[in-house]
Amino acid sequence: ILMTAKEEALFNFLAGVIDGDGTYNGRANRINIFCSQQYLFEAIVIILLRLGINYQVTFNRNIFNIQIVDKLDEIFSYTARVKGKSQRIIMDTRFFYAKSLLADLKYRANCQDRILSYLNQNLLIDAKKIQNYVIPQIAGSPENHQLTKIINSPLKMYRVTLQKKVQKQKVYNLEVEKNHNYLVFTSRLTPVLVENCHAAIISRELGIPCLVGTGKATKILKNNQEITIDCSSGAEGKIFSGKVPFEVKKYELKTLPKLSTKISLNLGAPDIAFQTSFLPNDGVGLAREEFIIAEKIKIHPLALYYYKQIKSQKFHLPKFLLGKNLGRQEIKKSELNGIIRKIDKMTVEHKDKKEYFITELAEGIAQIAAAFYPKEVIVRFSDFKTNEYRQLIGGSLFEPQEENPMLGWRGASRYYDPRFKPAFEMECLALKRVIETFGLNNISVMVPFCRTPAEGKKVKDIIRNYLKDAKIYVMAEIPANALLIKEFLEIFDGMSIGSNDLAQLVLGIDRDNAGLAKIGNENNEAVKKMIKDIIQACRQQNKYVGICGQAPSDYPEFADFLVQAGITALSLNPDSVIKTILYLSKSKEEKSS
């Protein structure tokens, strides 16, 4: 509501908060708002950002203190209890790092040596000084200079601390650019732009319409403009000007046609497992661990496994975890202290930090397995890439920097590697607890990105140390999986086709590069031929073959192709289950007639 509310409504909301829990300090010329509720705190910050009001936040004894020095007279025109008359602000409230903004003007605009001292000491300089002393020194047309545009904009710079890792945060607003930028809030409620390429997948699971990769939406669309977003086609979203009339279709689930092909679900968020289980389904074809680890656990598993060594600060970690492997010469004690503080705060209930990881992961998986019991739930082991693992707390200690993480140290290659094997064994222990302690024996497991049969054999041997009876599947997402399918099926109980990565590797297209999507997708004949070969080989060996990639959810005709090829199960995103069942049923009727 606040992101789209009109300015008068924002001022009235802010005035109500100030009258309720605010004060005015006339001597300091400052309004203070005291707030103990996180959601209200975030609402206040959204209002201040939208109104272009500068603010500062302090936190003491669970109370947020938001201090305001801008637009006081305008605010007082709306308040009823808290009143005052603001004084002229002597010091500016908008500052910039001199070295970042003025380095190229070091000598040309150094008015009476004033600017040079700011540059040499790397100080913040206020906008008025730049306006009064720097811009007049610029030759040509100062009014058209880039520096003038910056000063006349609402931009300003904060003092910030470089972070090696960034935890995932709630998303409040998004700037849809070519790199999928999202506006999030840090713990101090300062807006930060971050990258999140999986936003569309998560939003689909949560039932929230989401469009990414629009390229120029923020340049075309204006604040408060009414638009209609249509995400119903799956593969390509549409944006319409104004409110487009629509109708809601309701389906009686009991009357939906039955298909010979199993329909299972892709799921990652345990919180929506039970409500999703009421959709017509034959279980879960892909339960991702990544969402549980990133949103619930938030700590790199090796940081928990080696917690005591990190806390001792004697760097008694195995040599292969540190140094040249990570492209670093030393680890700062301040960095280790920060990691330890965060781990201690989040794992206060667990003396053994490994138990925190096992417990949280087991509970998240169990929530999904219980919702669909006794139907089969296929849990895929973690498939983070190195850049994603580095974002977890402590991740920078254990993850190398890779030029192309999509084709790097991921999937099966991690699980038997001495550098990561302890973490993989904690995943196995979590699944063992779900099956043996919680009694949810409807779980099967799946190994992602397995490049060779030799890798598959090593990983399977580790899994069998913990899971004696569970079925073990492998993702078919690398051309080698199709070319050596007989060898892979001698090791695993079946395959689930990962069409996203398979299409990427067959066509040589980086799936993170939206500009290359026009070349081809899973409907490409080369990709379909490889998928058909996988299905036929699995059926000949009487092994399970499903698909958990995005394609059948996005392209109904592709789902029809899979059914005709004889696939055992289609694992779909929850929002596409009904329409896919109806499409396949209609297609079957048309073919039979």
**Residues assigned a catalytic role:** 198, 548
Give all strands (DSSP E) within 170-274, no chain letters.
171-175, 181-185, 191-195, 227-230, 238-241, 262-267
Q: 335-342: which pairs have CB atoms within 8 A and are 24 or more residues apart?
A: 335/164, 335/396, 336/310, 339/303, 339/310, 339/393, 339/394, 339/397, 340/310, 340/311, 342/299, 342/393
Scan for tokens 């069998």, then name that residue: 464
**Within a 10 A sphere around the Cβ of 132, how many other Cβ atoms?**
11
Q: Give Cβ neighbours of residue 279 (< 8 Å, ≥ 6 apart).
A: 253, 265, 574, 577, 578
Q: In the chain, what's the furthest Cα-to-Cα distance?
A: 90
Q: Please, what sign has the CA dihedral across residues 401, 406, 408, 414?
A: positive
Encoding tokens for residue 42? 């975030």
Distance, CA of 309 to chain centre: 30
Distances (CA, A) of 119 to 101, 149, 151, 156: 9, 21, 18, 17
Distance, CA of 27 to chain centre: 45
> What is the b/e burial string over 16-44, where b = at least 16 CB atoms within 10 angstroms of the residue's CB?
ebbeebbebeeeebbbbbebeeeeebbbb
**Distance in angstroms between the alpha carbons of the first and the last residue of the chain:** 51
Q: Give Cβ neighbours of residue 74 (< 8 Å, ≥ 6 apart).
A: 11
Q: Is 287 helix (H, G, I), strand (E, B) or coil?
A: strand
Scan for tokens 């908060």, then name that residue: 17
Query: Would strands 95-97 and 443-447 be described as parallel, antiparallel, or unpaired?
Result: unpaired
Q: Is 235 helix (H, G, I), strand (E, B) or coil?
A: coil
Q: Is 497 helix (H, G, I), strand (E, B) or coil?
A: strand
Helix (H) or strand (E) holding 552: helix 551-554
Q: Please, what sign has the CA dihedral across residues 437, 443, 448, 454?
A: positive
**Within a 10 A sphere around the Cβ of 318, how many other Cβ atoms?**
11
For residues 378 and 282, is the Cβ–Cβ distance under 8 A? no
CA distance 114 to 119: 9
- The radius of gyration computed from the CA coordinates of the chain, to the nearest angstrom, equals 28
For residues 30 and 69, is the Cβ–Cβ distance under 8 A? yes
Helix (H) or strand (E) holding 569: strand 569-572
For residues 497 and 473, is the Cβ–Cβ distance under 8 A? no
Q: Please, what sign has the CA dihedral across residues 13, 15, 20, 26?
A: positive
